[in-house]
Amino acid sequence: MSGPREIRIDGTTVRRPRKPWTPTIHALLEHLGAQGLPVPRPLGLDDRFEYVSLVPGLAGDDAWPDGLSPDAARSLGRLLRAVHEATRTWIPPADAVWSVPSTPSTPICHGDPKPGNVAWRDGIAVGLFDWDAARPGDPVEDLAYALLWAVPVDVDPDDAPLSPAEAELRRARARALLEGYGWNAPIDVVEAAASRHEQAIDEVEWLGTHGHEPHATWVTQGWPTTWRSHLESMHEAGRRTFPVPLPR
């Protein structure tokens, strides 16, 4: 997903559009940084923008040209777990604002933990940025979201069925991610990913109808309808790769 977000990187400073929830996110990042977590350091705010530090590492599509290795997926699970645990000791400001409606609880989920929001070094997750979607939530929401994009569970309905080797690689990524996180319960990867995807689509619509970008543009362009129409084929194709819940 990309859109008119006016993100500028100048040396080691990232300038991003300021949102109503940015002060809350900065308070969270301050706490996580103080716990030694590899997240952007908040550097300041003005009327239009927030400024945070660049997390060192490789980011963008170049970071995983052939998809993630199982070790990379494991490291992402480990990082996500460390982040969730570190949020448990954070006391949010009394006037905390989040990008989506939420009720106070712990942990705080990142909300958008796809490989594209991770900094990588030698194929290992070494940082997590783009915290706009953070909110109090159930850890499984972040885990499901990471599975959705890191395995990936999502499919293009026009694609040919996966080869047996690719399907096995995706199962290996999913197992590794869950292992890295320390997830000890059976999980239906397809169901979890699809339901988090549906929630994400709802959230895009909510943000779009409240005038936030890039979501408003995506809504105008009809993307939520397209994504929703893919959910069924994602379920069917995912079920071929993950016929039963992954046992732990």
Ligand X SMILES: Nc1ncnc2c1ncn2[C@@H]1O[C@H](COP(=O)(O)OP(=O)(O)OP(=O)(O)O)[C@@H](O)[C@H]1O
44-72 burial code (b ≥16 CB/10 A, e <16): eeeeebbbbbbbebebeeebbeeebbbbb
Q: Choose the contact partner of 14 out of ligand X, Mg ion, none; CB within 5 to 8 A by kind.
A: ligand X
> How many Å apart are CA 41 and CA 25, to the nearest integer?
11
Residue 117's nearest CA partner among 162, 167, 79 is 79
> How many Å apart are CA 181 and CA 179, to the nearest integer?
5
Map residues 131-170 to x or -, x wherever contact with ligand X holds by CB under 6 A: ----------------------------------------
Residue corresponding to tokens 């908040």:
42
Q: Which stretch binds Mg ion (CB under 5 A): 22-30, 110-118, 135-143, 171-179?
A: 110-118
**Contact by Cβ (8 Å): 128, 52:** no
Per CB under 6 A, 126 contacts ligand X: no
Q: Which of 50, 130, 154, 203 binds ligand X (CB under 6 A)?
A: 130
Q: 116: which DSSP letter?
A: G
Least Å distance, CB 224 to ligand X, is: 15
Residue 43: its H or E element? strand 42-45
Per CB under 6 A, 220 contacts ligand X: no
A 10 A CB-CB count for 233 gives: 15
Nearer to ligand X, 121 or 248 (CB): 121
Map residues 1-40 to x or -, x wherever contact with ligand X holds by CB under 6 A: xx--x-x------x-x-----------------------x
Q: Choose the contact partner of 7 out of ligand X, Mg ion, none; CB within 5 to 8 A by kind.
A: ligand X
Footprint of ligand X on this chain (CB under 6 A)? 1-2, 5, 7, 14, 16, 40, 52, 54-55, 59-60, 112, 116-117, 119, 129-130
